[in-house]
Amino acid sequence: MRKILIIISGIVIFILFGVVSSISYDMGISYGVKNAEKIRSEKNKESIDIEKEIPTVNFKTAKNEISKIKINSSGRVLSYNNTTINSEVNGTILSNSKIKKGYYFKKGDLLFQIKDSDTRLLLDSKKSNYINTISSILADIKLDYPDEYDKWEKYFNSLSYKIQIKELPKFNSTKEKNFIISRRIMTEFLSIKSDEERLKKYKFYAPFDGSITKSYIDISTNVNIGTPIIDIIRDGKKEVELNINNKDRKLISVGNLVTLTDDNKSEYNGFVSRIGNFVNPETQNISVFIEIPKKSIDRDLFNGMYLNAQIETYTKMTVCIIPRRSLISNNEIFILNENNSLEVKSINIITEQDNNIIVDNIKDGERVIIEPLVNVKTGTKVIPIEL
């Protein structure tokens, strides 16, 4: 009976298993038919996700060429002469002075005058005493130095307090010289010449064509020695101060041609006139001065304007030009190896030009990644696309 029961139970279980399998199969077939499109799209999505695990990158095949290096910068236009004029004497600014900001002047124009009447009267008094002294020694000269009398008489007749005194006659002997010095004529002469030079400082004449950019005082103001009066700039020749990276210093020479452009794309020609021999401690840049000849200047170029500059150097080098966005650090880029995997390469940057960098240690044929990559590292396999 036990064997019969076991056989009957096995047959029942087998029949139940067959019924359940049949029902499951039918249900699976029915679900597959009804949801075929959904299953197909999910499989495609899985396939796309697998492909996305390998990033696509743009690269450029390096090619070195002999190129003339150009350096870009910008700076402010400055007058070739930008000067603050200070008073060298004490006094009051007279009404005929031209000291207003914006005043345009020509070389030799009287810009300002300081009242000099007291100084002039004192000088006239000194001249009068000097003439009297010369007059008093004529008799002694005629007696003791008869051969020298004519020149001293002629000198005496040329003297007047209204004009500058002339130079002393030339001494022909030591005795004559000692005689003149002992009468303090030399001392009085030098004192008068000093006062005559000082009197000239009460009037200031324009040293060049230009204009006044700043006025520190007004008419009838009392000034002392050292008081600033006006700032003046020279018309015509101008220059631009550029800040250049210290590593570019070796590429630049005095005389390099420079193209300057303003916001309106107007161009001006200049050249490197001098190069600073010091480094700005804050920016680590050096100053390079660009002279703009007068013939290259028109009325649209004003003091204080900012201009973009491109220096054309004499240096020709075999270099490769790649986009600045290729950099992954200050001096590293990604390149592709033969297995299309990323490798890091250290580069020697000669200079920067617009949105490019100029490098001299990339070999011909190397594949340089020319776009920034995120979340990748050395050895990452990629799908390359050449641009």
Q: Are residues 272 and 289 in the same domain?
A: yes
Q: Are residues 220 and 328 in the same domain?
A: no
- Of residues 1 and 375, the one with the higher pLDDT is 375
Q: Are residues 207 and 266 in the same domain?
A: no
Is 37 inside a domain boundary? Answer: no
**pLDDT of 149:** 93
Query: How does DSSP assign 342-385, residue by residue?
Result: EEEEE--EEEEETTEEEESSPPTT-EEE-S--SS--TT-B-EEE
**pLDDT of 360:** 87
Two tokens, residue 217: 């005082």
Of 177, 200, 223, the domain-final residue: 200
What CATH number is attached to the domain comprising 215? 2.40.50.100
Quote the CA–CA distance of 38 and 32 in Å, as a whole number: 9
Is 43 inside a domain boundary? Answer: no
Q: Are residues 289 and 310 in the same domain?
A: yes
Is 284 inside a domain boundary? Answer: yes
Is 218 inside a domain boundary? Answer: yes
Quote the CA–CA distance of 74 and 307 in Å, as a whole number: 6
Query: Tell me: the pLDDT tens digits for 161-191?
Result: 888 999 999 999 999 999 999 999 999 999 9
Query: Tell me: the pLDDT tens digits for 326-376?
Result: 998 888 999 999 989 999 999 988 888 778 888 888 999 999 999 988 888
Of 263, 287, 317, the domain-final residue: 317
Query: Tell me: the pLDDT tens digits for 271-300?
Result: 999 998 888 888 888 999 999 887 666 557
CB-CB contact of 359 with 60 (8 Å):
no
**33 has pLDDT over 70:** no
CB-CB contact of 328 with 374 (8 Å):
no
Query: How does DSSP assign 79-91, residue by residue?
Result: ES-EEEEE-SS-E
Q: Are residues 61 and 129 in the same domain?
A: no
Q: What is the residue range of 329's domain?
A: 56-65+318-386
Most confident range (mean pLDDT) of 114-128, 348-362, 373-387 is 114-128
Of 317, 350, 372, the domain-final residue: 317
Nearest to 149 by CA among 172, 126, 119, 115: 172
Quote the CA–CA distance of 197 and 311 in Å, as a whole number: 47
Average pLDDT, the chain: 86
Q: Are residues 263 and 328 in the same domain?
A: no
**100 has pLDDT over 80:** yes
Residue percentage of the chain with pLDDT more than 90: 50
Mean pLDDT, range 31-40, rounded to an integer: 58
- Of residues 223 and 54, the one with the higher pLDDT is 223
* pLDDT tier at 108, thresholds 50, 70, 90: very high
CB-CB contact of 242 with 260 (8 Å):
no
Quote the CA–CA distance of 327 and 245 in Å, as a whole number: 18
Q: Which helix (H) or strand (E) holds 333?
A: strand 332-336
By mean pLDDT, which of 7-16, 208-217, 246-255, 309-318 is the weakest?
Answer: 7-16
Q: Are residues 108 and 216 in the same domain?
A: yes
Q: Are residues 94 and 140 in the same domain?
A: no
Q: Are residues 244 and 289 in the same domain?
A: yes
Q: Are residues 124 and 196 in the same domain?
A: yes
Query: Tell me: the pLDDT tens digits for 191-206?
Result: 999 999 999 999 999 9
Q: Are residues 286 and 245 in the same domain?
A: yes
Quote the CA–CA distance of 285 and 291 in Å, as a whole number: 19
By mean pLDDT, which of 16-25, 128-137, 171-180, 338-347 is the weakest?
Answer: 16-25
DSSP state letter for 118 = H
DSSP state letter for 296 = G
Is 124 inside a domain boundary? Answer: yes
DSSP state letter for 338 = T
Is 97 inside a domain boundary? Answer: yes
Mean pLDDT, range 15-28, rounded to an integer: 65
Total tally of structural domains belonging to the chain: 4
List, in order, residues 6 or more apart from 77 with CB less than 8 Å away. 238, 239, 240, 292, 301, 302, 303, 304, 305, 306, 307
Is 150 inside a domain boundary? Answer: yes
What CATH number is attached to the domain comprising 250? 2.40.30.170
**pLDDT of 50:** 47
| Class of residue 264 by CB neighbours under 10 A (exposed 0-12, middle 13-18, buried 19+) | exposed
**pLDDT of 75:** 92
CB-CB contact of 203 with 94 (8 Å):
no
Is 32 inside a domain boundary? Answer: no
Q: Are residues 241 and 254 in the same domain?
A: yes
**How many helices and strands in the chain, by DSSP H and E?**
6, 21
Quote the CA–CA distance of 365 and 386 in Å, as a whole number: 12
Quote the CA–CA distance of 358 and 71 in Å, as a whole number: 11
State the number of CA atoms in the 13 A half-sphere of 319 facing the CB: 20
By mean pLDDT, which of 89-93, 245-249, 307-311 is the weakest?
Answer: 245-249
What CATH number is attached to the domain comprising 338? 2.40.420.20
Query: What would you measure as the largest C-alpha separation in the chain, in angstroms?
Result: 183
**254 has pLDDT over 70:** yes
